[in-house]
Amino acid sequence: MTGSADTITQTRTLSRRTFLRAAATTAAVPAGLSLAGCGGSDGGSTKGALSFVYMGDAEQQDQFEKLFAEFNKVHPEIELDAQGIPSGNWATFANTVSTRIAGGQVPDIVQIATEGQRIFASKGLLEPLDDFIAQDKKLVDDYFADINPNLVKWNTEYASHDGQTYYMPGGFNTMCLYVNTEIFAAAGVEIPAEGTWTWDEFAAAGERIKQKTGAFLIPANSGYFTDVMPWLTTNGTSPLNADWSAATLDSPEAAEAAAFVRDLVEAGLAPEPGGQFDAPSQMKQGKLATLGGGRWPVIDLRRLGLVEKTMVMAWPTRTGHGSPIGWDAWPIMKASKNKEDAWTFLKFLISKEAASFFATLGGTIVPARRSVAASPDFLDNAPAHSERLSEAVSYATPIPSPDRGAECQQVIEEAWLKVLSGNGAADETLAAANEKLGTLL
């Protein structure tokens, strides 16, 4: 339930995570850090106020404070000391939190995104939740029955090193397209009723839009989550294999994806990458037909009065549906002296009441509960078919987040940008990048 749209990228397509730039830098947790280094408490784990550290700027903190007020209505006996860190991206947040932990300031609960979940657990910093889950089995079963089974599976597969449960999974972001229906109508291009199109159909629509309106079809950028992964996953591939142990960026499918986006640039259907390109504003001015995003573009679309003029579509496909996904999760720190209160707070966070309340506040994340994502609490004052963001979990790929994920991300983004800028052939450039990735894994 956090604001996962960390910062605005150069194209101002609002990335879920500028995020991964070093976000797998929860590898920023010092390599030798273990409970031996954080058993004391100058700032968080003494019995008393329940401390919760999360990432949030001033606006997100305001939304969270309203949620926390709801918690205290139900549990006035628990004093909640919630600290929002306005980090701008998950990398900075992870560095800040790990520095505090290394200094003995251990919160009871800390918000951890996909990129850091496995490494945090493997450092011995977290309390297994299995006993808590067993004592509240009915409540947890209700939650797990209301979220996509993939989230339940990934909560162990990608967030645990030993098969125990360390997190309650929370809200997430996938990638879809926000389509300006007025631009498509002006160009006489029909938007597929089934909610998706192929790459070729998408490019053909862009040609007609360019001819009739002069608008770009889509921005061309190199953000790992927002720009690289959608094209790779819709062509049946990813930069790493399923368990993140080997690089696969040299696949023919990856080269085909990068070359396709470069073709969009060469054809004038996407602007040259780099520089400043305010995607929401360009869409408002009728100069951009689509932009990619998770839930976060809704903030700009509301501000610009574009909600009624846009709809959500699945990403164009080559071999099948695809999207990256990243989700928030909440653990209890092993050093916490407030574990029972912490579990009470986690139970509140996964409740339908809390999810519905938080959804009504707006924000930058898709509710984990499918019932809430399909409700007016989430869908009102949002582009048509916003439920497709939630539905994308069924075909999404967890954002690959190995221990040296920050460095991997940089290699991937630099190679992608080189291809999109016309400075290297797709196959050769990605093959060279793949060799670099191999040394980081």
- Name which of 376, 360, 355 is nearest 71 in CA terms: 355
Q: Evaluate if residue 1 carries a pLDDT over 70.
A: no
Report yes or no: 240 and 115 within 8 Å, Cβ to Cβ.
no
User: What is the Cα–Cα distance from 77 to 167, expressed in whole angstroms?
Assistant: 24
Q: What is the DSSP secondary structure assignment for residue 224, as one 8-state letter?
A: I
Q: Is the pLDDT of residue 152 over 90?
A: yes
- Cβ(196)–Cβ(317) below 8 Å: yes
Confidence at residue 283, expressed as pLDDT on a 0 to 100 scale: 97
* Statement: residue 41 has pLDDT above 50: no
Q: In the predicted model, is pLDDT for residue 331 greater than 70? A: yes
Task: Look at residue 429 in the predicted model and tell me its pLDDT.
Answer: 98
pTM: 0.88
pLDDT band at 47 (very low <50, low <70, confident <90, very high): low
Classify residue 295 as exposed, middle or buried by CB count within 10 Å of its CB (0-12, 13-18, 19+): buried
Q: What is the mean pLDDT of the chain?
A: 88
Of 208, 273, 240, which is closest to residue 20 (Cα–Cα)? Answer: 240
Compute the C-alpha angle 303/187/256, nearest 5°: 85
Measured distance CA(411)–CA(277) in Å, rounded: 23
Cβ atoms within 10 A of the Cβ of 82, count? 20
Lowest mean pLDDT, pick from 157-161, 283-287, 322-326: 157-161
Q: Which of 104, 99, 98 minimizes the C-alpha distance to 116?
A: 98
Supply φ then ψ for residue 269, to 5 degrees. Answer: -90, -10
- pLDDT band at residue 30 under the 50/70/90 scheme: very low
Per-residue pLDDT for 11 more than 80? Answer: no
Mean pLDDT over 154-162 rounds to 90
**Mean pLDDT calculated for residue range 347-368:** 92
Q: How confident is the model at residue 3 (pLDDT cuts 50, 70, 90)?
A: very low
Q: Residue 323 has which token pair?
A: 């999207």
Q: Is the model's pLDDT at 46 over the cut of 70?
A: no
Winning range, highest mean pLDDT, from 26-40, 45-59, 124-138 = 124-138
The answer on pLDDT for 93 being more than 70 is: yes
Q: Answer yes or no: are the C-beta atoms of 88 and 23 closer than 8 Å.
A: no
Q: How far apart are CA 360 and CA 373, in angstroms?
A: 11
CATH number for 20-173+328-390 (one of 3.60.21.10, 3.40.50.300, 3.90.1300.10, 3.40.190.10): it is 3.40.190.10
CATH code that applies to domain 176-324+400-440: 3.40.190.10
State the Cα–Cα distance between residues 77 and 437, nearest whole angstrom: 50
Alpha carbons 122 and 373: distance in angstroms, whole number: 32
Rounded-to-integer distance, Cα 126 and Cα 315, Å: 36
Look at the alpha carbons of 256, 261, 267, 273 in this order and tell me if their dihedral is positive or negative.
negative
Beta strands at 80-85 and 50-55: parallel, antiparallel or unpaired: parallel
Phi first, then psi: give them for residue 17, nearest 5 degrees. -150, 105
- Write down the pLDDT at residue 301: 96
Of 84, 82, 81, 80, nearest to 56 by C-alpha is 84
Residues of the chain with CATH 3.40.190.10: 20-173+328-390, 176-324+400-440
DSSP letter string over 72-112?
HHH-TTS-EEEEEE--SSHHHHHHHHHHHHHTT---SEE-E
pLDDT given for residue 37 in this prediction:
33
Range name among 107-121, 203-217, 340-354 with the lowest pLDDT average: 107-121
pLDDT higher than 90, residue 268: yes
Crossing angle of helices 405-420 and 252-266, rounded to 10°: 50
Alpha-carbon torsion (282, 283, 287, 292), positive or negative: positive
pLDDT(38) > 90: no
Crossing angle for the helix pair 339-349 and 58-74, to the nearest 10 degrees: 110
What was the pLDDT predicted at 91? 67
pLDDT, residue 140, reads: 97
Mean pLDDT across 137-145:
97
